[in-house]
Amino acid sequence: MNILLAAMALDIGGAETHVVALAKGLKKMGHSPIVVSAGGVFVKELEKAKIPHYEAPLNKKDIGSISKSLKIFKDIIKDENIELIHGHGRIPALNGKITSILKGIPFMTTAHAKFKVSFVYRYTSFWGEEVISVSEDVKEHLINKFSVKPEKITLITNGIDTTRFTKGLDISAQRKELRLRDDTMKVIYSSRIAGSLAGLTKMVIEAAKEIYKENDKIEFIIVGDGEDFKEIYESAEKVNAECKDKFIHMLGKRTDMPQILSLGDTIICVARTALEAMACEKPVILAGGEGYMGLLSEENMETAISNNFTGRTTSEEVSVEKLKHEIIKLLHPSKKERRKELGNLGRNVVVDKFSIENMVRETVDIYYKLLKGVR
């Protein structure tokens, strides 16, 4: 099949990583995926896999950008003999829907998160003939807030490449680049750094400072970019100067996430990054912009699965004190075996429920369903 995958952009993010993984999985199965987006750091990964990428302003919703995107869609349909459009995000879905009507091509979407609800959005959000939801709570959101028919929705969880995200990776280059010490425990925090997430990043930095003052055998590695990166970077450098030690490392965007995650003794993150960290056999502290669940364990695993590892179905709020307590408790020397147990638990859950092979195969089943009688 010739499938057009439309995404807003291909920078760091859960939906973006999902699209790249899906495209590579489709190609591996013998299909021909073509990706259209506003571009980003992951375009090189598609090029390496010999997957065509077309650039269009799918991260903008003004009339001019939509008009330009529609022309690009039209050209791709013709040049690549596209049989089906699969939208990921509100603006890509809008362009996909219009193109679908004009060209008579089947159109579907994947909902990666709970979309903002308003009177306007209720009637300008297009879901397609079939809809994939990445979690149970997102499915309920689509039904209750956007009146999507339940029979149109298929629950397909995120898929993780467990050969790429695994333990035992060579991390010598990253250790050398960051000049990491051999005698410290490492905490990785991964997130977009903008809006409320910038506030959370500040909490992580404050917790880092308080922990360091009690025990300087620790380093924090913060991964991510966004509108507030400069401000947060300055905050981190201020703490480093105050403590007279560069123990907080701000990395910005990275595409070597398997190696970066492998540096950590624990990872603070949510959503897809949580699954990637679990695949690397790292204990995870779930803290993000939508909720807080603390340390991921046997007790809260099912709840985490149901909300796509975001914590959005819980009422607990994150705080500097909670982060500090969780990190100190987990990284205590007596907890070495417990960290190993949690790493094994996470890896087993990913292999069992979140493999990239299952995700791609189940998605392809929906493609065939849509194309039945059309091809």
Same domain, 272 and 130: no
Same domain, 329 and 339: yes
Same domain, 345 and 203: yes
Is residue 165, in this structure, part of any structural domain at all? no
Residue 340: domain span: 172-353
Tell me the average pLDDT across 190-216. Answer: 95
Write down the pLDDT at residue 17.
87
pLDDT at 12 over 80: no
Write down the pLDDT at residue 126.
87
3-state secondary structure 273-312: HHHHHHHCCCCEEEECCCCEEEECCCCCHHHHHHCCCCCC
**CA separation for the pair 102, 113 (Å, rounded):** 28
Is residue 235, in this structure, part of any structural domain at all? yes
**CA separation for the pair 177, 157 (Å, rounded):** 35
Same domain, 324 and 230: yes
CATH no. for residue 76? Answer: 3.40.50.2000
Is residue 166, in this structure, part of any structural domain at all? no
Write down the pLDDT at residue 373.
64
Tell me the average pLDDT across 218-242. Answer: 96
pLDDT at 204 over 80: yes
**Residue 375 banded pLDDT, cuts 50, 70, 90:** low
112 neighbors 15 (Cβ within 8 angstroms): yes
The 10s digit of each residue's pLDDT in 137-157 is 899 999 999 999 999 999 998
The 10s digit of each residue's pLDDT in 297-306 is 999 999 999 8
Same domain, 28 and 121: yes
Same domain, 311 and 196: yes
| Closest to 261 (Cα-Cα) out of 330, 195, 198, 167 | 167
Write down the pLDDT at residue 115.
76
Same domain, 210 and 113: no
The 10s digit of each residue's pLDDT in 127-139 is 999 999 998 989 9
pLDDT at 122 over 90: no
Number of domains in the chain: 2
Question: What value does the CA radius of gyration of the chain take, rounded to a whole number of Å?
Answer: 21
The DSSP secondary-structure symbol of 2 reads E
Is residue 164, in this structure, part of any structural domain at all? no
Sign of the torsion angle spanned by Cα atoms 120, 123, 129, 133? positive
| Long-range contacts of 288-297, Cβ-Cβ distance < 8 Å, separation of 24 or more | 288/191, 288/197, 288/200, 289/191, 289/195, 289/196, 289/197, 289/200, 290/114, 291/316, 292/316, 292/317, 292/318, 292/322, 294/322, 294/326, 295/326, 295/330, 295/342, 296/342, 296/346, 297/342, 297/345
Same domain, 134 and 192: no
| Closest to 52 (Cα-Cα) out of 32, 38, 69, 71 | 32
Q: Return the beta strands (E) in the chain as ranges.
A: 2-7, 32-37, 53-55, 84-88, 107-111, 130-133, 153-155, 185-190, 218-223, 248-252, 266-269, 284-287, 292-295
Averaged pLDDT score across all residues of the chain: 94
Write down the pLDDT at residue 124.
64
Same domain, 144 and 177: no
pLDDT at 116 over 80: no
Higher pLDDT, 275 or 372: 275
Same domain, 70 and 198: no
Give the lowest-confidence range in 15-19, 70-74, 114-118.
114-118
